[in-house]
Amino acid sequence: MAGIHEGPEFGVGDFVLLHELSLDAFMDNLKHRFNKGKIYTYIGEVVVSVNPYRSMDIYNNSFVQQYKDREIYERPPHIFALADNAHKTMRRQARDTCIVISGESGSGKTEASKIIMRYIAAVTNISGQREVERVKDVLIKSNNILEAFGNAKTNRNDNSSRFGKYMDINFDFKGDPVGGHISNYLLEKSRVVYQQEGERNFHSFYQLMAGAPEAMLNELKLTRDPKKYNFVNQGGDHKVGSINDKQDFRAVMDAMRATGFTEEQTSTLWKIVSSVLHLGNIEFEGEEESTVVNSVETATIAALLSVTKDDVEKALCSRVIAAGGNVVDKHLNAGEAHYARKAFAKAMYDRMFSWIVGRINDAIDPKHGGLVGKNTVIGVLDIYGFEIFDNNSFEQFCINYCNEKLQQLFIELVLKQEQEEYMREGIQWQHVDYFNNKVICDLVELPHKGVLAILDEACLNVGKVTDEMFLDAMSQKLGKHERFTCRKLAPADKTLEHKRDFRIRHYAGDVTYSVAGFIDKNKDTLFMDFKRLLFNSTNSVIKDMWPEGARSVKETTKRPITAGTSFKNSMIALVENLASKTPFYVRCIKPNEVKSPIVFDDTRTKHQVMYLGLLENVRVRRAGFAFRMQYERFLQRYKLINSSTWPNFNGQTLDGVKRIIRDQGFEDDVKYGKSKIFIRSPQTLFALETARDAKIPSIVLFLQRLTRGALGRQKAKKVRAIYLIMRRFKRYKLRSYALACIERFGNARRMKDYGKGIQWPKPPHSMRPTVELLKRAHARWRAHMILARIDPKDRPMMRLKVMAGDVLVGKRADWGVKRNWEGNYLASTKDNSNTSDFVSQMSTLKNRDGFSIVLFSSYVKKANKHNKTAERGIAITDKFIYKIDVKKKFKPMNKGYPLTDVTGMSVSPGRDQLAIIHLSGGNDLVLCLENPAQEERVGELIGVMCSHMHKILKKDMKVNISKTLNCMLGHKPRTVVVKETAVNGGTVFKKEGDSLALMWPNA
């Protein structure tokens, strides 16, 4: 469970379950969980979030899946659980819900709202619904835009929201987002023209100067140095370590494209931002009638706003007044002109921000997607936190009033929810004392008596009314109020400045306000001249922002509502809106002022816990009962601790619950409602959990034993089935393969190539070795069938041709395959008319050297080491190669060369008869075969040598076929080439440089 089962080392996950309910116990648990990295803790269904000041990997998709459609107490505390609960309540009960995020500035409210938005987007990821995806994308991307133009760096927070935001997300009947609407409250526009030391203006100014391309900056007449612009350099160093303005500018531009801003609209927004920067640098002179000192700036502003320079200067230095039917130009002095310039800058930025919100609302309007029928909403409120600064002005007064209203709503709704649940379940309610801050809200908002009413009265008075007069009026009318004081009412309190300060005792602490500027800020005066100026702009976007500029100068209008009253009305409307929905709360806490992930400031944190009313929230939750759960879930969770309910209880669910409670002895500590059991003390819940934990190991072992046995039996069945299927399948594949082979090769005997061209079927993996044997058997059978058609006496010659063909086919033009190969040509009268001398010499050599047969003989022309050509004969036997002098009755010229000395042969690819027999002795035989019939016999010589050398050496002889051949003559390397030429005396070897050329007749 969320409150218990993170482990005892992490403390208690739900403050309602604390053993001792006290402020010290609350603080100890909160600090302990923060130090252990647990930033979320529950108070029932309220999430207390402590800003960790670091990135945490607890928001990825795996966490989304853990919390999706789970009850809030089923998983450890997390903001996802609250977001899911709100979405689930909205979806299941068709009720509007809202999530109220509160806390002081820097406590993580804005980040919490973004996390909630991302979660809702993630759990409604419906594929194929383009409009749903578009709305979710706009809702998420709009955060970047609103933060850029509405957030700023303060002394407490690098990314502080300087406006209030309430977003309604519309869902269809399936629970998918189909649109939304954003309401913004009280943009702190005074920041546009003034920042305290250590603070910055809105992010947009710095993003523009840091991230815009040079061309864009040149067009806007800006530089990248914020120090050059008065409205953004008052706080000191503009750089913030946790912010990358350049990268954020790109993100904002991407977000604008994604949310449908046109290029013209985007460009106009940055022009307005630039105009504000330039406005800050304008100076005036003149006591009676002011004039602009640096008119270059006004020309730039006029160009950016698409108006004329003269109109800009006129609006800044004078105002038009309609009196008695006449129109009069009233000149402003330098001081009044400076005031008008600041009012113009603030109003222009404020109006631009409201236009941005409106543009986003247009993009996510439910009507945009053609929504029909009933829809429900989830509201997400991210509004300013309570603020106490060194100098607190009108803005802080409004912000703190807003927090008072929300705190009042929180207490009322929490009490209301608790009371309604007890009444619904028939449980008696126990009254809880708590501080009701209605008295503070009344101090601010009561008609005729409240601070805002007194302020409005001061603003409406005719004549010069000062802030001091407003302070005096408050001291007279509110002097008896216990929550208000000033120096006039407390003369001894020197912490209050005379004629300047007043103090209100808020629920969050005492805050001292300076009345300086209250009246001006409440009046929010902007001369109509500026409205007319911008309405007359040729830029349609700027023109649309100022529709009231269309009014005639003489037109009489009602006095505009004051800023304070407008804010009060919007707060009352917001509270009524929230009260009409089912509320969920995130209470954000800031653990320290130094933004450290390890520092826990007890004093600061305790102050926030007290003014957020968290302890009262716990007391309300525990007023009657600390814990409650539906009967079905209770029985499902705890039935294992009782033998009569485990593993299944067959009776009524309530009876099973009562049996568990009775057997455990907790009847006096529980109450039974209509659908839930209520447990009074946390100790009872802990005891139930302890009993459950004690039973789980034995049950786990039992389930593991049964599961392992079932899985083992299941696996054995599967294995047996697998082997049976494998056997049957193997037989089927073998049979199928055999039938396929029979079908393909059944007619092979009658085929011309005996099935050589038939593609073998792809064999099963197990048959591949067997198929290789079958292929070899088929090849042997083919060879047998081919040889059967050849006469036995022709087979030796066929074998030689096959050996030669393996070497020469495709590499030599002609190799004599079509003629009969006789081999011993010098013993044939066809070549040699004196065969008896040759036969006699061979017989003598046979007796002397012991060879068996002459394999090949022929006339040759031989090249020697002196590059001379000699007519010779050659005889190749089964053991030796002999050179023969044909002119001396075929006498051998020397001892025969052993065949074992042969290292290879080289022949040319042409029709010539050049053949080189390479010998290991370093003196190769370079020959040109000759015969009277001019037959091609090189192929036959290759076949004889290859065949016989394979018999002797049991390996293939190397044969080189090339146009340029290498050899050794006289132990020297030579290159031999063939040249076709007209040779009258027949073929001849000639020396050409270092090479040897065979002159071959070309005819």
Q: Any binding-site annotation on 107?
A: yes
Q: Any binding-site annotation on 105?
A: yes
Q: Compute φ and ψ for 101, nearest 5 degrees.
A: -110, 120
- Token representation of residue 478: 């509110």
Closest CA to 617 of 37, 41, 33: 41
Is 105 annotated in the active site? yes
Options 51, 89, 102, 105, the catalytic residue: 105
How far, in Å, CA of 238 to CA of 6, rounded?
43
How far, in Å, CA of 611 to CA of 307, rounded?
51
User: Which residue blocks in 55-107 are alpha helix, DSSP H?
Assistant: 61-67, 79-93
Options 3, 13, 44, 106, the catalytic residue: 106
Q: Do residues 626 and 685 touch, judged by C-beta distance below 8 A?
A: yes
How far, in Å, CA of 776 to CA of 195, rounded?
94
Q: Do residues 407 and 507 touch, judged by C-beta distance below 8 A?
A: yes
**Integer angstrom CA distances of residue 219 from 216, 246, 517:** 5, 18, 36
> Residue 935: CB partners within 8 Å, gap ≥ 6?
816, 819
Options 387, 616, 935, 936, the catalytic residue: 387
Which one-letter amino acid corresponds to residue 525?
T
- Token representation of residue 300: 């730039």
Is 161 annotated in the active site? yes
> Residue 448: CB partners within 8 Å, gap ≥ 6?
none
Closest CA to 109 of 341, 361, 311, 384: 384
Q: Do residues 700 and 685 touch, judged by C-beta distance below 8 A?
A: no
Is 157 annotated in the active site? yes
How far, in Å, CA of 662 to CA of 672, rounded?
13
Question: What's the burial of 448, exposed, middle or buried (CB within 10 Å: 0-12/13-18/19+)?
Answer: exposed
Options 49, 161, 537, 869, the catalytic residue: 161
Closest CA to 580 of 375, 377, 373, 367: 377
Q: Do residues 498 and 272 touch, judged by C-beta distance below 8 A?
A: no
Question: What's the burial of 717, exposed, middle or buried (CB within 10 Å: 0-12/13-18/19+)?
Answer: exposed
How far, in Å, CA of 521 to CA of 343, rounded?
10
How far, in Å, CA of 558 to CA of 462, rounded?
16
Question: What's the burial of 21, exposed, middle or buried (CB within 10 Å: 0-12/13-18/19+)?
Answer: middle
| Cα angle for residues 341, 342, 343 (degrees, 5° grid) | 90
How far, in Å, CA of 533 to CA of 279, rounded?
15
Is 106 annotated in the active site? yes
Options 110, 268, 906, 931, the catalytic residue: 110
Q: Any binding-site annotation on 7?
A: no
Return the SS3 of 228.
Answer: helix
DSSP assignment of 237-266 equals ----TT--HHHHHHHHHHHHHHTT--HHHH
Q: Any binding-site annotation on 852?
A: no
DSSP assignment of 311-378 equals HHHHHHHEEEEEETTEEEEEE--HHHHHHHHHHHHHHHHHHHHHHHHHHHHHHH-GGGGT--S--EEE
How far, in Å, CA of 658 to CA of 672, rounded?
9
For residue 127, the tally of other CB atoms under 10 A from its CB is: 6
Is 514 annotated in the active site? no
Return the SS3 of 26.
Answer: helix
Options 3, 280, 385, 896, the catalytic residue: 385
Q: Are strands 902-907 and 959-961 parallel, antiparallel or unpaired?
A: parallel
Options 97, 144, 154, 160, the catalytic residue: 160
- Token representation of residue 32: 């302990």
Q: Do residues 58 and 64 touch, judged by C-beta distance below 8 A?
A: no
Q: Any binding-site annotation on 110?
A: yes
Q: How many helices (H) and strands (E) does the chain have?
A: 29, 32
Q: Which residues are annotated as a binding site for ATP?
A: 103-110
- Which residues does the annotation place in the binding site? 103-110
State the catalytic residues.
105-106, 110, 157, 160-161, 385, 387
